[in-house]
Structure 1
Amino acid sequence: MSKVNKVVLAYSGGLDTSAIIPWLKENYDCEVIAFVADVGQGEEELVGIEEKALASGASACYIADLKEEMVKDYIYPSLKTGAVYEGKYLLGTSMARPIIAKAQVECALEVGADALCHGCTGKGNDQVRFESAYAALAPQLTVIAPWREWDLRSREALLDYLAERKIPTTATLEKIYSRDANAWHISTEGGVLENTWNQSNELCWVWTKDPEDAPNTPEEVSVLIEKGEIVAVDGKAMSPYEALVYLNKKGAEHGVGRIDIVENRLVGIKSRGCYETPGGTIMMEALRAVEQLVLDKESFEFRESIGLKASHLIYDGRWFTPLCRSLLAAADELAQDVNGEVVLKLYKGQVTAVQKRSPNSLYSEEFATFGEDEVYDHSHAGGFIRLYSLASRIRALNEQKK
């Protein structure tokens, strides 16, 4: 094993990272510093986490509040691109990884560490996301991935490992589902979901009401957008994080933002998960509604292509790359005119934009009306169609000659 003196571990307080701390000390004979990223996973996840890290053998534990920065500098730019992975997934887990890795690297450089460590398994996407960020930001630091090195292969083995060393843990064998949460979403995997023929049950959903049990009366929310960013909700100015928290609560009450998806992981494995993104689903619908008013056909088509490519870059952990920066910049430029107000109806798991307006709207009632108008000469369409279809006409004439 490489010789390291001080390692900064991305620490969650869960079973895996609790076992990693003593494992690092035993196998690398190094000092371990726990780094905790508060990305809105919930206060209950952070209670006592510093004490837990120190009890596991860490020499120190640093907690970074990244909630506002994550929404402002990572989620909002991603929303402008329209990134949706494989048509459904709003990139909840992958959206948080770049900022966590960046803050972890900053912590490591500040404390003079020579190594970074994460608790990602060798089957998932997160190992790629973390290590790609490490490579882009601090390639000189050694990276340690215990799940690719140790022989602890089960939850029971991890619990036994901690028990042998008299390290306290609240984890038990009864955990059925694997969950990951941040301000943007919560994911649930494992349990009954491992068989794709099984329907999800109430244990697979954490934040949102079952749409069948949601209120029978619709609720409307008003969203104000400036340059592709939500700046106020229901008439109240809000920071990006405040707006997300507010809309999460509204959406969850009405069962908005649930998806049950089988996705293609980067490593080639298909996985199934139940994801809840209530506020994000509302935000996405609001931005797309204003885009419909503001972007011309070719601009909208280009924005869609940006969203498709960005969804794969973000999912694959390539945030800190020139291509990703270029796509984000292009989406930001297109969003300069995306200003307006949208009223959205929340009802039984659905969110629908029912009113929308923009000072930059290209929609003209004068031109679009089905009634009589004085601004559009129907006869002009004939010449346009003839030129538009000219290549097809020439091709058909050539075929006739043959």
Structure 2
Amino acid sequence: MTREYVCADCGAALPVTLGRWACDECGGPLDLRRAGLEWRHGLAGTRGWPGSCPALPCEEWALDRAWLGEVPTPLVEMPSGSAVWLKCDHLMPTGSFKDRGAVVLAALALELGASRIISDSSGNAAAAIAAHAARVRIPCEVFVPQRTSSRKVRQAQGYGAEVHLVPGGRAEAAAAAQWASRAEGVLYASHAANPHFHHGVKAWAYEVREQLGAAPDTVVVPVGSGSLLLGIAIGFRELLDSGSIAAMPRLVAVQSAGCAPLAGWPPAGTPPGPGAHPVAEGIAVPQPIRLRQLRQAVDRSSGTVVVVDDQQILHAHRDLARSGLCVEPTSAVAWAGWQALAAGDLPPGRSVIALTGSGLKTDPPESQIPQMPGKGLL
């Protein structure tokens, strides 16, 4: 297997090494270029993860050691006849889609001989990285914003990770993790910066293609740092290039009104306001490092950006719960976005909505919706 990093901004080619997470030349984000990988159809490896998928960018022995039981997650059809499915990644081993990328980063750490894994997160990635680091027996540190859900913090600690609560938001947590990652032998296992993570997430697209028998027409995802959107875009692009699907699905990025950089809010460089506590904490990323790539992924698929407010998110969260789906408010962002589309200009065809994280990780927000009846989805 041959692989190298390529800067998404200046095009510089760089070797894959432990200490590299940004371009040496310009500081831009890195993509992954691979050669010598054969396509595999059907189940990958003896454990059946991740379903119908090309070889992932790590050696199979390392992936086997890092594997925690990730298998294709259910695709639940809504009973209204509206051709809508929910992809239930909240049922992953640690309760979020982040397991898809974490298993690849843990495998990479094994291959490169890392003595420590360091990451930053708003919670879900912290748990996923911590769990897979424990699986491969590599010590782990995670840096999270101080306001992170206590349940997510305890989950990461339960896997044996050393958790650092950082004053401020996502940018401050990332800066602290990057500083700590300067030590020798450390892999900075960032779900935003390390492109290996995106190539784990791309299995989502392969699973949906296999489960539906074709690509959906529309895919709706909540977007913060954007690792899910970028991974899905990579997966469907590979399927299109291989002739496995006829057309690229339209990618719909849904963001919260309080933090929607894809829609231009807040303006570039604006720090979050003091005391800001968004309902969808998992996507409160005012300055994603791959913002240009996220816009390109949406535009190249003829997709769109939808912005929903806290009240829409809370209503969507209640509807999902009343339909038996225990997800966190960040997952409800995608359902709220689809509802907004359905009330306006939703093109015909099949839609798949990404449910990204378990509701068992956060305190229920129902108290914020006084006197609101729950009716379920349909």
TM-score, normalised to structure 1, is: 0.29
Which structure would you say has the larger Rg?
1
Question: Which protein has the bigger helix share?
Answer: 1
TM-score, normalised to structure 2, is: 0.30
